[in-house]
Amino acid sequence: MDFSKIIVLIPTLNEAKNLSILIPELFRRLPGISVLIVDDRSTDGTAPLLAELQRTFPRLSYIIRQGEKGYGRACLEGFRRSQARPFEAIVTMDADFSHDFNAIPGLAAHLPEYDVVIGSRYIPGGAIANWHRHRRLLSRFANWYVGFILQIPTRDVTTGFNAYAASALRTIDLNGIAADGYAFLVELKYRLWQKRCRFVEHPITFSERREGQSKMSSRVIWESIWLPWRLRLY
Ligand SMILES: Nc1nc2c(ncn2[C@@H]2O[C@H](COP(=O)(O)OP(=O)(O)O)[C@@H](O)[C@H]2O)c(=O)[nH]1
Ligand SMILES: [Mg+2]
């Protein structure tokens, strides 16, 4: 797919160190692509950094959110903004180098034949580079658990590296998505699946973050345990 039709959505919370390297590298590798950063009032100088980067990279845009923080809330805001512009594909990825932007053309290539392209760690060719054992097991278990309850035929339901056809995201009510964190990713995929969107998984290699700290919390994990039941029962 033509890069000018793709927008890459990156939610950030205190990722200035990663962004200062990621943004120039990404635009060098994928010229013509657009990037939207959705930041939740980071305190590490992200906002001035983005203003500075924007002078070099006109296809970079950003929002500094004022409301309640959250990965899922930030993604939804990014979806709304992206839908108001003439993009055909919206790619979500993390800012911490866990997701390799070199995979974006491969993900987007499945559109428009498919509506949702999952950047998958759990199909042949997919991998996790340097996670310690307990995080690996937690992720494996979470994916098995969610798949078992919701019966979505996707091996990796909690991955945040995905490409969506803009038309597919228009079929669902974004305001109706209540979950955040990993649960948000599950709920979004489940709602798209209910709308009969066509899914495909594309193998990716996930790596542990380079700089900064994970924002995963026990609240996020508990929400993920409860969510599949809420989706299935209501
Ligand atoms: N806007 C926004 N981004 C967030 C928030 N929490 C996490 N992120 C971003 O979401 C991505 C994934 O978060 P991360 O902490 O790396 O989660 P992990 O990879 O599961 O450990 C990163 O780019 C984070 O900066 C949040 O509350 N608001
Ligand atoms: Mg991460």
**121-167 pLDDT tens trace:** 999 999 999 888 888 998 999 999 998 899 998 999 999 999 999 99
**20-61 pLDDT tens trace:** 999 999 999 999 999 999 999 999 999 999 999 999 999 999
Instruction: Give the atom of ligand 1 at the shortest distance from the alpha carbon of 65.
Output: 1
Ordered by start, the domain boundaries in the chain are 3-233
Straight-line distance from the first to the last Cα atom of the chain, in angstroms, rounded to the nearest whole number? 38
Mean pLDDT across the stretch 89-108?
98
Ligand in nearest proximity to the CA of 13: 1
Residue of 146, 164, 169, 165 lying closest to 156 (CA atoms)? 146
Q: Which pLDDT score, from 0 to 100, does residue 132 have? A: 87
> Is 74's pLDDT higher than 90?
yes
How far is 35 from 95, CA to CA, in rounded Å? Answer: 11
pTM greater than 0.85 (yes/no): yes
Q: Are the CB atoms for 38 and 60 separated by under 8 Å?
A: no
Q: Which pLDDT score, from 0 to 100, does residue 5 have? A: 97
Mean pLDDT of the chain: 94
Q: Are the CB atoms for 139 and 93 separated by under 8 Å?
A: no
Class of domain 3-233: alpha beta
* Residue nearest to ligand 1 atom 12, measured at CA: 94
Q: Which pLDDT score, from 0 to 100, does residue 216 have? A: 73
Instruction: Give the atom of ligand 1 at the shortest distance from the alpha carbon of 10.
Output: 23
Q: Which of 166-170, 176-180, 216-220 has the lowest mean pLDDT?
A: 216-220
Residue of 167, 155, 162 lying closest to 195 (CA atoms)? 167
> Which comes out higher in pLDDT, residue 161 or 182?
161
Ligand in nearest proximity to the CA of 159: 1
Span from the CA of 28 to the centroid of ligand 1 (angstroms): 24
